[in-house]
Chain A
Amino acid sequence: MRRTGVNNDSATGVDEHPRAVALQAFVEHDYRVVVGSVSLITGDFATAEDAVQDALVTAWRRRDQPIERLPAWVTVAASNSARSGHRRRSAERRALVRMGPPEDEETTTPVIDTDLLEALAGLPLRERQASVLFYVHDLSVVDVAAELGVAEGTVKTLLSRARSHLAEQLDADRSGGVA
């Protein structure tokens, strides 16, 4: 995965601001996979995309603060905000389901590894975040720790627990049994 994070410095214009350049690059190269990553964490595609866009706006507002790994930062920020906004959006979705989608609106449901989603759904948020950053974004344990703001040992613990849980769930699914 490309790393489009930058350290900000002085810029003459908005369009020429390093953060603006980084965000443009992010949208072109990393946006979809980050939305997918957040979807794995939140289990909700619509929530994930909204949260990613909100995180991008936040990244722009905080353009004076350095962000070393923008995709990872957006993933964590979006998944955190999606958790807080999950209830509100869930209520909105339930209302939409009751009313039914507009006739002229075409809904797109991504085809996702549902077994993996279900297995991830059984993990705590921190373990989901650590797993996505480690496996999807290919971050090292040190970098995952930096993104989550925890110690390296904590990340190792999170990854170990997540791996054990996922292995158990996915192997059970593969064999068709229940652990």
Chain B
Amino acid sequence: VSFDDDLRDRMRRAANDAGAAADPAAAAVKIGEATANAAAPIGPVLKIVGGLAVTGLAVGVLLGATVLRPGGDDLVTAAGIDVREASTFDCPDGTAIGSLRSGDRVFVIGRDDAATWSAIRRPDRIDDVVWISADALTPDAERTDVPVIDCDNEPELLAAAPPASEVPESTTLDTTVAESVPEVTAPESSAPDTAAPSTTQPRSITTTTRPSSPAPTPPPAPVPAPTPATTTPPAPPPPPPTPTPTPAPVTTPPPTPAPTPPPPPPDTQQPSLQASTSSSKLAPAGSVCPTYTTSATLTVSASDNVGVTSVNASWGPSPSGSKALSRSSGTAQSGTWQTTLGPFNGLAPEFAQNITVTLTASDAAGNSRSTSLTIFVVGANCDFG
């Protein structure tokens, strides 16, 4: 028997002896607990998911039954504000308490007898109900059967109001009071058949309309101004079903003059400049005049309190011409401008004459200043120079 065989037998025997006291049942219990724990989380997860699903279904059914369901017995309907800004009131003929703006979303929960006022859920005070001109609203769907409710009957209003959770989240409300709102919309009366327009029109109301609405509107009727302070035209009567299409009267606030800064003082300061040339003796190209060059670089250092806009060079009397310099460095207020003058070809061989180069710097206000250089120009016979 080799040592390896002996060692193998000895170790196996020792392992069996050492493990003889082990309790497989305890291991089975532990494994059972582990497998049970693995299955356990499924239950709570399912409960949570199921609860969410049931909740969502309930909310969906509630919304569908109260808001979204097309039909004739809906109590509320979602609507958007269709005018630039519309005041809200505590009652159809009550006090302006706030305003809504174009794009705001509200719930319409009721109307007055004449359907000229709509009771809506006030977004910032979900337990409250406010009134707004029906003309200012654009319902998501046509609803003609919202209940007629009485503003003075608060329990009735609250009963008609949808739960807070149903108020659209996108709804916003500008809580500025009507007096500070430049344009609001209000119907003329909540009971046009029985009450005079002047007595039913909300206080502090000016009239506006949908900016781009093509809706037919009766011609404006003369209505006494509600308050002496009101400067805009009075509100038209509620829109009866009339086929006469008439553009809605539009009033725009008087343009507010924007504060204009005082004009800057006029720029009367002339630019200053200094001119130099790289050569004062120019000869035609191809000439062999030793002390002459064929061209010269004109350099102008120009500055201005506002800015130099251009530097020009003109020369004459013969040859004559002009040329604009370009800024090679610096800024408009203080920079260096350069250009190349010459070569002057085609001159008579014996030509020899001084030319005057005038350099003019200008600013945007038209102020300019000039300086000049003298350059001797010769023909091919440079000796004549």
Contacts and interface: CB of A to CB of B under 8 A. Distances in A.
B13 interface: yes
A49 B35 contact: no
B7 A110 contact: no
Among B4, B10, B14, B21, chain A packs the most CB atoms within 10 A around the CB of B14
Contact of B17 (A14, A36, A49): A36
B27 interface: yes
Contacts of B12: 33, 135-136
Contacts of A23: 31
Contacts of A67: none
Interface string B162-196: 00000000000000000000000000000000000
Contact of A40 (B3, B11, B24, B26): B11
Contact of B18 (A31, A36, A131): A36
B35 A14 contact: yes
B24 A45 contact: no
Nearest to B38: A14
A76 interface: no
Contacts, number: 114
B46 interface: no
A166 B7 contact: yes
Nearest to A17: B35
B229 interface: no
A37 B17 CA distance: 10
A111 B18 CA distance: 7
Contact of A61 (B8, B28, B34, B36): B34
A61 to B, nearest CB: 7
Among B3, B17, B18, B36, chain A packs the most CB atoms within 10 A around the CB of B18
Contacts of A163: 3-4, 7
Nearest to B12: A136
B69 interface: no
A31 B22 contact: yes
B23 interface: yes
A136 B15 contact: yes
Contact of A108 (B4, B21, B34, B38): B21
A45 B20 CA distance: 10
Interface string A49-61: 1001100110011
Contacts of A40: 11, 14-15, 18
Given A32-B22, A132-B11, A57 B34 contact: yes
A124 to B, nearest CB: 17
Given A35-B19, A112-B18, A56 B11 contact: no
A117 interface: yes
Nearest to B6: A170
A48 B18 contact: yes
B5 to A, nearest CB: 10
Given A27-B31, A57-B34, A110 B13 contact: no
B16 interface: yes
Interface residues of B, number: 29
Nearest to B31: A23
Nearest to A116: B14
Contact of A32 (B4, B24, B36, B39): B24
Interface in A112-165: 112-113, 116-117, 131-132, 135-136, 138, 163
A39 interface: yes
A57 B22 CA distance: 17
Contacts of B21: 45, 108, 110
B30 interface: yes
Contacts of A35: 18-19, 22
A116 B12 CA distance: 11
B15 to A, nearest CB: 4
A35 B15 CA distance: 8
A103 interface: no
A14 B24 contact: no
A104 interface: no
A34 B16 CA distance: 9
B372 to A, nearest CB: 93
Interface string A15-43: 10100100110011001111111011000
A32 B19 contact: yes
A113 B13 CA distance: 8
A53 B35 contact: no
Contacts of A96: none
Nearest to B10: A116
Contact of A136 (B11, B30, B31, B36): B11
Interface of A: 14-15, 17, 20, 23-24, 27-28, 31-37, 39-40, 45, 48-49, 52-53, 56-57, 60-61, 108, 110-113, 116-117, 131-132, 135-136, 138, 163, 166-167, 170
9 contacts: A27-B27, A32-B20, A33-B16, A35-B22, A36-B16, A39-B18, A53-B26, A110-B21, A166-B7
8 nearest A-B residue pairs (beta carbon):
A36-B19, A36-B15, A36-B18, A32-B19, A39-B18, A35-B22, A35-B19, A113-B14
Given A28-B24, A56-B30, 12 more contacts: A27-B31, A33-B15, A33-B16, A39-B18, A40-B11, A52-B27, A57-B34, A111-B17, A112-B17, A136-B11, A136-B12, A167-B7
